[in-house]
Chains A and B, each alone.
Chain A
C-alpha cells in the first residue's frame, strides 16, 4: 500500500510539474529578451501572489517527485532498506522543500 501511494504521488507530482516546467521555460525565454537583470526579475516577482503560488507549487511537486525517485535508486542501487531508506528519502524531501521555499520566499516577499 505504501509503495502504491508513493507511486501515485510520484505520477501526480509529475502531472503537476509538466505545465509548470513549460511555463517556467516560456517565461525564461520571454524574460531574457533585451537582457537579464536581477532588478527586472524581482520587479516581476516581488509581491506577486501568482508567482509565489506558481513556484511554491513547483517546489512542492519537485520535492515529492525527486525524493520518491531517489528513494527507488537508493533501494535498488545502494541496497538501503526500511527505516534508513525512508529516513534518507524524507530528509531529501525536507532539504529540497526548505531550499526551494526559501528561494521562492526570497524573490516574492516584499
Chain B
C-alpha cells in the first residue's frame, strides 16, 4: 500500500512531455513543453497550463469545459478528441502527449482551426430547419414513441465539435464530401415531423459529395464523444434515397 502510494506520487512528479503544433498559416512544427503532471488533469488543462505559464501566444479554442459547446476538439496522439473531457491518463503514450489541430480543416494558428468548411457543409446538406407551419397554425403534436421521432432523437445530441469530421477518411480523400456531422443533421431533420424539407434534404444529400461518398468505415461513430452513430444516419439517408429513386426516378 505504501509502495503504491510512493509510486503514484513519483509518477505525478515526472513532468509530462507535451508536443504542441505551432503554426501561423502554412507550415509549422511541433514544439516541446514540460508540463507538471497532476492527479486529475484533462488535455485541455495541459494546453491551458502551457498558455498561462510557458507561452501566452499559444492559440486554442475552448468555452464551456464540460463537454457541451464542442469548441475544444483537437488531435490528441493522432486521434480527434474533446480535450475538456479527455483525461491525460487515458491518452498518455508513455509520458508523452502530442496535441495538434483538428484534421481535415484549415489551420488558422496553432491549435485553432477554421471551422467554416465544416459549417458551410451543414448548410449545403440542408441541415437547416424548414418550417411547415406559420405562427397562426396549431403546434404539431409529436408522439415521442413514434419511429421517426426515435430515429431523430438518436442523432440530435450532436454538439458540432467536428470530431467525426476530423476522424473521417472519406473527408480526407474527397474535399467535397459533406461529412458525417452534416449528414447526421440532415437525417434528424428528415425524420422530424415539424420539418418540411424532406425533398430538398434528399436532393442535397444525393448530389456530388453527398452521402454516397461515405464508405461506411465507421470512424465517425467510433470517435463521436457523445456516442452518436452518424454512420447509421448516413445509411438511413442512403436507404431513403434508394426508395425515392425507384419511386420517382430521382432522389
Contacts and interface: CB of A to CB of B under 8 A. Distances in A.
Nearest to A6: B212
Given A8-B245, A75-B174, A77-B173, A3 B250 contact: no
A76 B208 CA distance: 13
Contacts of B212: 3-4, 6-7
Counting chain B residues whose Cβ lies within 8 A of the other chain, the interface size class is: 10 to 19
Interface residues of A, number: 11
B251 A4 contact: yes
Nearest to A8: B245
Contacts of A11: 242
Nearest to A4: B206
A3 B173 contact: no
A91 B212 CA distance: 23
Interface string A66-84: 0000000001110000000
A76 B173 contact: yes
Interface in B195-251: 206-208, 210, 212-213, 241-242, 245, 250-251
Contacts of A7: 212
Interface in A14-65: none
B250 A1 contact: yes
B247 to A, nearest CB: 13
